[in-house]
Amino acid sequence: VYKGLPAPWRVKSDDYSNKTKKEEAYATLLGKYQEKFPDVTKDELRKKFNALRTNFRKELKKVLDSTKSGVGTDDIYQPKLWYFDAMSFLRDQET
pLDDT for res 61:
93
Give CA–CA dist 17/89, Å, rounded: 19
Instruction: Provide the residue ranges of all domains of the chain, joining segments of one domain with +.
Output: 14-94
- Give the tens place of pLDDT for each residue, 70-79: 777 778 889 9
Cα(first)–Cα(last) distance of the chain, in Å?
A: 23
pLDDT for res 92:
84
Q: What is the phi/psi pair of residue 36, to 5°?
A: -100, -35
Mean pLDDT across the stretch 42-47?
94
